[in-house]
């Protein structure tokens, strides 16, 4: 079967870029991305391409080429489901904030809503693709809902987890290390798998398209994120030991990374990992392991998150201690708020937690991020519910000018590794700061020696 019409439910960080690439690479397939969030869809359809809701290098060009040709963004979910042969579910699956599994399990309410909507609308057979990251065995639940509430049409469920990283989404999608497709092991299952293989084969080498059973595919996604996050927590754990012993974590990372069994990627010590995936997916893994009675497995993986929380907290504590044990009334400038460079996404960004700790110490925080709006920064803090919205507004100031934001600060903290920070006139920044002028480089991106020469007290991570 050759797919001609695709629908994707969820126009977020995954649905948007993924479908833009499919549409760009497969001009014969009509791709409709739908969302209940009207503002988001409006932004995707904005005539001014720079207003699309997600910032990713290269994304604007793809959308500009495919939008209106074979790529469409709409709020008419039912029409898109009705017309499509293949439906991707790419909605959010956040950590549950209530009830059973609160704080760990994935909240599958949006997934279930999608399944019920697909079942009620579908009048022809459909292939339903899990693109969202889901707990292993979710396909079983989706299948049960579809078969029990549908109109007697046939549904095949595939798992096709997404491995893109934000900030490099377009490159990752155009040139993936692999594409993973899990499906049923009977004839209909194989036919559905093949239909999706044929879509990807338009631009991905067939050797890179892996097919597995559904459960392996679902679990591989959680496993990949757990392994990646584990590397960051491992190097961050070493960074603390480096600070005590005179070792330099960058040198240690380089030395171990040259061992081909270890590899050099994902060994950058930092203020802690953020993003919408790592913590959520590990906690979900922990919950799943516990629900099978595998307590040692659960504890092993939970430690990755515990270590990450420690790394964020100790960054804030270090600022307070270094500034003579008080930051009360002092201006501390944050360079960066996004959870990594080249994205406007701030979900679970370390900056939020470091700011929260410093506000508890009565610091005045000033923030500059090249892609994050002031409303977003404030709403990230309000979401924590540590203090009133008025108090957050009082304690935090956002400035669009990197030099203004550093003026009169006692300390600068680098929270995101935006390239532009490296090229600033640090002498000019130093001249306008309170003395002694401190820099806490949570990403180890600045030239510490040069900053010390200017007069800064410079502190990196793990050195
Ligand atoms: P997101 O919050 O950016 O987007 C999800 C969208 O789904 C939202 O716009 C929301 O309005 C919409 N939505 C929710 N329920 C809906 C419904 N019933 N009908 C229509 N629209 C609905 O989330 P995201 O970052 O794109 O993540 C989506 C999934 O992909 C998650 O499961 C996530 O774990 C996974 N994932 C994310 C990344 C990443 O880097 N962000 C990478 C790989 C996998
Ligand atoms: C991650 C996975 O990499 C991706 O495959 C998956 O699909 C979604 O989750 P993402 O969260 O977008 O992607 O970005 P990633 O590059 O993995 O970075 C996650 C966090 O770890 C960021 O805060 C980043 O700054 C931090 N990190 C990463 C480090 O602190 N050190 C490193 O060496 C690598």
User: Could you please report the per-residue DSSP string of 124-178?
Assistant: S-EEEEE-S---TTHHHHHHHHHHHHS-S--EEEEE------TTSHHHHHHS-S-
Q: Which tokens hold the place of 418?
A: 């935006």
In this predicted structure, what is the pLDDT of residue 1?
85
| pLDDT at residue number 317 | 98
Burial of 358 (0-12, 13-18, 19+ CB in 10 A): buried
Please give the CATH number for the structural domain made up of 5-204. 3.40.50.720
> How does DSSP classify residue 13?
T
Ligand 2 pocket member 340 (CB < 6 A) = yes
Within this chain, domains 5-204 and 214-463 share the same CATH topology: yes
Please say whether the beta carbons of 133 and 11 come within 8 A: no
Any ligand 2 atom below 6 A from CB of 372: no
Nearest CA residue ID for atom 38, ligand 1: 14
**Residue 26 annotated in active site:** no
> Which ligand is nearest to the Cα of residue 274, counting in written order?
2
Measured from the alpha carbon of residue 131, the closest ligand is: 1
> Cα angle at 399 between 363 and 395, to 5 degrees?
25
pLDDT at 55: 93
Known binding site for substrate: residues? 162-166, 221-225, 261, 268-274, 339-340, 443
CA dist., res. 382 & res. 346, Å (int): 13
Mention every residue, 6+ apart, whose C-beta is less than 8 A from residue 415.
271, 334, 335, 336, 337, 349, 350, 351, 354, 442, 443
Residue 270 has what pLDDT?
98
Mean pLDDT by 10 residues, the chain (463 residues): 96 98 98 98 98 96 98 98 98 96 96 97 97 96 95 96 98 98 97 98 98 97 98 98 98 98 98 98 98 98 98 98 98 98 97 98 98 97 98 97 98 98 98 98 98 98 97
360 DSSP assignment: H
Q: What is the CATH number of domain 214-463?
A: 3.40.50.720
Asked whether the beta carbons of 253 and 263 are under 8 A apart, the reply is no
Residue extents of the structural domains in the chain: 5-204, 214-463
In this predicted complex, what is the ipTM?
A: 0.98
- pLDDT attached to residue 300: 98
Pairwise CA distance, residues 142 & 115, whole Å: 6
- Rounded distance between C-alpha atoms, residue 204 and residue 193, angstroms: 15
Structure tokens at 236: 């961050």
Alpha carbon of 296 to ligand 2 centroid (Å): 25
- Which one, of 293, 314, 289, 331, lies nearest residue 236 by Cα? 314
Residues forming beta bridges with residue 179, ordered by sequence position: 209
pLDDT at residue 114, rounded to an integer? 98
Q: Are 320 and 413 in contact (CB under 8 A)?
A: no
Ligand 2 contacts CB of residue 225 (under 6 A): yes
Q: How far is the CA of 133 from the centre of ligand 1 (A)?
A: 9
Per-residue tokens: 442: 């949570």
């Amino acid at each position: 079967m050759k797919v001609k019409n695709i629908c994707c439910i969820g126009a977020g960080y995954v649905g948007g870029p993924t479908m833009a690439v499919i549409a760009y690479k497969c001009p014969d397939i009509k791709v409709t991305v739908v969302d209940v969030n009207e503002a988001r869809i409006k932004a995707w359809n904005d005539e001014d391409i720079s207003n699309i809701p997600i910032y990713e290098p290269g994304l604007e060009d793809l959308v500009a080429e495919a939008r209106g040709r074979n790529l469409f963004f709409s709020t008419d979910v039912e029409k898109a489901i009705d017309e499509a042969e293949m439906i991707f579910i790419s909605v959010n699956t956040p950590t549950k904030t209530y009830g059973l599994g609160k704080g760990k399990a994935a909240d599958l309410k949006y997934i279930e809503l999608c399944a019920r909507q697909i079942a009620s609308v579908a009048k022809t057979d459909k292939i339903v693709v899990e693109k969202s990251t889901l707990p292993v065995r979710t396909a079983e639940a989706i299948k049960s809902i579809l078969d029990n509430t549908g109109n007697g049409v046939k549904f095949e469920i595939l798992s096709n987890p997404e491995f893109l990283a934000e900030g490099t989404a377009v490159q990752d999608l155009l040139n993936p290390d692999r594409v993973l497709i899990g499906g049923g092991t009977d004839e209909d299952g194989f036919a559905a798998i093949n239909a999706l293989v044929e879509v990807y084969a338009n631009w991905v080498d067939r050797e890179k398209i892996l097919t597995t059973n559904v459960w392996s595919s679902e679990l591989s996604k959680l496993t990949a994120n757990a392994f990646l996050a584990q590397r960051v927590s491992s190097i961050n754990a070493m960074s603390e030991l480096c600070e005590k012993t005179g070792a330099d974590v960058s040198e240690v990372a380089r030395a171990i990374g040259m061992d081909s069994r270890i590899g050099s990627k994902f060994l950058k010590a930092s203020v802690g990992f953020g993003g919408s995936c790592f913590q959520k997916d590990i906690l979900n893994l922990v919950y799943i392991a516990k629900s099978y009675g595998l307590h040692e497995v659960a504890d092993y993986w939970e430690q990755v998150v515990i270590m990450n929380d420690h790394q964020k907290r100790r960054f804030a504590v270090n600022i307070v201690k270094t500034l003579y044990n008080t930051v009360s009334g002092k201006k501390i400038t944050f360079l960066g708020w996004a959870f990594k460079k080249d994205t406007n996404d701030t979900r679970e960004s370390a900056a939020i937690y470091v700011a929260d700790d410093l506000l508890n110490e009565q610091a005045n925080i000033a923030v500059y991020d090249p892609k994050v709006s002031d409303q977003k920064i404030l709403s990230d803090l309000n979401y924590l519910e540590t203090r009133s919205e008025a108090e957050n507004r009082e304690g935090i100031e956002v400035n669009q000018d990197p030099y203004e934001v550093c003026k009169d600060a006692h300390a600068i903290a680098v929270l995101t590794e935006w390239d532009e920070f490296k090229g600033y006139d640090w002498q000019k920044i130093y001249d306008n700061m309170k003395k002694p002028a401190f820099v806490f480089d949570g990403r180890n991106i600045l030239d510490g020696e040069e900053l010390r020469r200017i007069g800064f007290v410079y502190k990196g991570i793990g050195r």
